Amino acid sequence: MNLMGLQDGQYRPLSPEQIETVHEASLKILEKTGITYEQGLEDTVQLLEDNGAAIDRDKKNIKFSKDMIAEQVARAPEKVVLCGQNPKNDLHLTENRVHLGTGGAAIKILDPKTGKVRSTTLKDLYDVSRLVDQLDNIHFLVRPCIATDIDKADYDINMFYACLAASSKHVMAGVNDEQGLHNVIEMASMIAGGPDKLAEKPFISVITSFAISPLKLCTQSTHIMQEANRNRIPVALSSAPMAGSTSPLTMAGTLAQLHAEQLAGITICQLTRPGAPLLYGGIPGMANLKTMGYSGGAVECGMMNASIHQLSNHIKVPNYNSAGLSDSKVPDAQAGYEKAFTVLLASMGGANYIHHSAGMLESMLTIAHEQFVIDDEIIGNACKVLKGIDIDAEHLALEVIDSVGPGGNFMTSPHTMAHMRKEYYNGNGVTDRKSREKWEQDGSLDIRQRALAMAKKLLAGPKPSHIPEEIDKEIKEKFNILL
């Protein structure tokens, strides 16, 4: 059942007037308060000044006029196509088309053999990328964990290599520095058949956390973002304030500040290269005020992530955001309901590229094989909701009702045969709907055990590399590939 890229917009936390109010508030922030920047961004600041921004170099402050923002934001493409190495995995991001996939940079995994938590390795990244490749409802692969067992110098190239070898879905990740970015682009160009072909069908993209909330440009990530713009590689403009610590405690204030950060980031990209493909990357989050940690599983994260899509849609830029996190440490009932709430809300809000949606536990710190399988099922259910209910002659089935007649049954009707595999979401196999008797006969397995068994089976299958053999050889000659 293909449930990718469905249009929606059933959940609208903000009214049209409220969207306008927040948008105006964001423009006011950029005009009155402005943003600040770290050392080393002189060229970027000069670029902004040359195009109308008011700069106070002593105070390190940049202010933007409404007109400047409007002019630059209008240049950002309304539609961004993020490709897979296999074209069936291409994502057409625009309007309210919904896609969900993995995300994060977890450092821990619940070991699939022992169940105990341990550090993630490059092999783990490869394994979970293979799972993602085979789980149909996960639409893209943002590297969900980092390899804690390799040197920083080898890090960027190996992250992307492991993902591209294991999966033909779109691959997105952050990079540590510009050198890392150049290496990754070079490797992807080798696979694509040259930089032009890569730009034409970008099967990789880069997360650039250009903003340190509140309202501060990070030098390293801004440089990476602009360099990706120049190389025609799509970027996701990640900024992720936490309500109560790095943005106002209130949801409205958090949305206004975050939208302002995004408008500034989009402006920088469009000045760097007009028409640069990018995703609005506002990720509204919440601080746990008892610890100042991240409350990923809060239902308000779902509400705010639906709202932020409304704001990106207002300026006609496709968006990247977050849902499907849980603060639980294991795949339990809490993980299930927290994930289901936020995934459903963000999906029903029409968000275009929802990451963090599969595999994560303990907010963004831990992954588990079984969680990818369970979350694939949660995403499938959420996307099914987007499909809605077809009302037409065929689906109303008046003729069938008439021919079966009062008191009959529909079990063997050709109409049932024709629709039974399409009308309902049939699941990936992890959900238990057996009788208790049958369930006991099969070993009384709970969801975690069933999901783990499915993951094991998926990983036991063949391991085709998605990188052609010849090119793989060249890549290994050129770069220090550790997989």
Partner 1 sequence: MTDFNEIKETLVNLDEQRLIELVNEALEKDIPPGDILNKGLIAGMDIVGEKMENEDMFIPEVLMAAKAMSKGVEILKPLLSDKETQTRGSVIIGTVKGDLHDIGKNLVAMMMESAGLTVHNLGVDIAPEEFVRMIKEKNAGILCLSALLTTTMPMMKQTIDAVVESGLRDQVKIMVGGAPVTQAFADDIGADAFASDAGSAAKSAKALVA
Least spacing, CB of residue 133 vs partner 1, in Å:
24
Our measurement of the distance from residue 47's CA atom to the centroid of its chain's CA atoms, rounded to an integer in Å, reads: 30
Least spacing, CB of residue 50 vs partner 1, in Å:
27
Least spacing, CB of residue 207 vs partner 1, in Å:
13
| Peptide bond between residue 214 and the one before it cis (omega within 30 degrees of 0) | yes
d(CA 176, CA 260): 25
User: In this structure, are residues 161 and 187 in contact, taking their beta carbons and an 8 Å threshold?
Assistant: yes
Residue of 397, 442, 447 lying closest to 427 (CA atoms): 447
Least spacing, CB of residue 321 vs partner 1, in Å:
21
Closer to partner 1 by Cβ: residue 356 or 466: 356
Instruction: Enter the tokens of residue 176.
Output: 């540590």
Closer to partner 1 by Cβ: residue 226 or 246: 246
Q: Tokens 């995004």 sit at which residue? A: 262
d(CA 252, CA 249): 9
Instruction: Enter the tokens of residue 112.
Output: 């699939």
Closer to partner 1 by Cβ: residue 146 or 306: 146
Q: In the 8-state DSSP scheme, what is residue 90?
A: -
Q: Tokens 């940690």 sit at which residue? A: 293
User: In this structure, are residues 67 and 309 in contact, taking their beta carbons and an 8 Å threshold?
Assistant: no
Least spacing, CB of residue 289 vs partner 1, in Å:
4
Closer to partner 1 by Cβ: residue 177 or 332: 177
Exposed, middle or buried, 36 (CB in 10 Å: 0-12/13-18/19+)?
middle
Closer to partner 1 by Cβ: residue 13 or 180: 180
Closer to partner 1 by Cβ: residue 32 or 290: 290
Closer to partner 1 by Cβ: residue 83 or 242: 242
Least spacing, CB of residue 212 vs partner 1, in Å:
6
Q: What are 368's strand-pairing partners?
A: 110
d(CA 95, CA 103): 22
Least spacing, CB of residue 155 vs partner 1, in Å:
7
Closer to partner 1 by Cβ: residue 169 or 355: 355
d(CA 35, CA 183): 31
d(CA 222, CA 216): 11
Closer to partner 1 by Cβ: residue 61 or 148: 148
Handedness of CA 107, 219, 237, 275 (dihedral sign): negative
Q: In the 8-state DSSP scheme, what is residue 54?
A: E
Least spacing, CB of residue 232 vs partner 1, in Å:
26
Closer to partner 1 by Cβ: residue 32 or 152: 152
Least spacing, CB of residue 219 vs partner 1, in Å:
10
Least spacing, CB of residue 124 vs partner 1, in Å:
13
Q: What are 278's strand-pairing partners?
A: 235
Residue of 135, 116, 36 lying closest to 377 (CA atoms): 135
- Point out which residues bind partner 1 (CB under 8 A): 38, 105, 107, 146, 148, 152, 155, 176, 212, 218, 244-246, 289-294, 365
Least spacing, CB of residue 301 vs partner 1, in Å:
17
d(CA 149, CA 302): 34
Instruction: Enter the tokens of residue 483.
Output: 């997989």
Instruction: Enter the tokens of residue 140.
Output: 């893209």
Closer to partner 1 by Cβ: residue 88 or 152: 152
d(CA 108, CA 366): 5
